Amino acid sequence: MIVEGFALRQKTLEDGRRQITAIHVPGDFADLHSFLLKKLDDGVETLTACKVVMFPHENLKKLSDDFPHLTRVLWFMTLVDAAIHRAWIMGMGALSAPERLAHLFCELKDRLTQVGLAQADRFRLPLTQSELGDVLGLSAVHVNRSFQQLRMDGIVQTDKRDIIVSDWDELRRFADYNPDYLHLNQTVERD
C-alpha cells in the first residue's frame, strides 16, 4: 500500500515501449492483484520517493478469513481500480488528446483531494510529459500540444510540477468528466 508518494503500474514490450496502466496515490494498494493471481504480467515503479506498507499474502488470507468487512473493503478497492481502467480505455477510444489530458487532471484532482493532497485550485503532478504520454497513449510531442491547447484556452496553467485550474467546472465540462466511476462517497457496509 502506498502511504506517501506516487507510483505507477506499467506493462512493457520487448522493445522497451510501455503503457502506464495505473497511477497510484497514497492510500492505494499498488499490488493487491497479486494476492490471488500470484504472478503478474506487469510491474510497479515509483514516480517519487515513496513510503509503502507491505502486506504478506498469508496475512491477507488470514484477514479475509477472519474479517469479512475488510475483505469487502479490499474487493471494493479492486473494483474501483477496474473502473479507473475502464475510464482510461474509454478515454483512449473516445476522447481527443486534450480531452484525455483534461480528464486525467480531473481524476487526479479528485483522488488527491480524498487524501488531502490537493488544494482548491491546484495539485502536484509528478509525471513528465513523456510519462503522461505513456498514460494517455500519446507521444510526448502530442502531450505538449495538448498542454498548449489547454493553456491557450485558459483552462489549465502550470507552475513547475503543479497543475493550476481556476475553473474546475469548465475543465470537467471540456473533459466530459463524471467522477461517479471513482465511487468517492461510497462506503462499504459492515456486517
Could you read off the pLDDT of 70-122 as tens digits, one per residue?
999 999 999 999 999 999 999 999 999 999 999 999 999 999 999 999 999 99
Could you read off the pLDDT of 41-65 as tens digits, one per residue? 888 999 999 999 998 989 999 999 9
Cα(20)–Cα(134) distance, integer angstroms: 5
Considering the entire predicted model, what is its pTM?
A: 0.94
Confidence band for 2, pLDDT divided at 50, 70 and 90: very high
Q: Give just the sign of the alpha carbon dihedral 169, 174, 180, 183.
A: negative
Phi-psi label, residue 81: left if phi above 0, alpha if psi -120 to 50, beta otherwise: alpha
Residue type, 144: N
Cα(170)–Cα(168) distance, integer angstroms: 5
Can you say how many angstroms the Cα of residue 184 is from the centroid of all Cα atoms in its chain? 13
Answer whether residue 131 shows pLDDT above 80.
Answer: yes
* Residue 173 to residues 163, 169, 178, Cα–Cα distance (Å): 17, 6, 9
Q: Give just the sign of the alpha carbon dihedral 36, 40, 42, 48.
A: positive
The answer to whether 121 and 165 are in contact (CB under 8 A) is yes
Q: Beta strand 18-24 with 43-46: parallel, antiparallel or unpaired?
A: unpaired
pLDDT at 32: 84
CATH 1.20.120.1200 fits 2-182, yes or no: no
Q: CB neighbours (10 Å) of residue 79?
A: 11
Cα(125)–Cα(162) distance, integer angstroms: 6
The answer to whether 1 and 30 are in contact (CB under 8 A) is yes
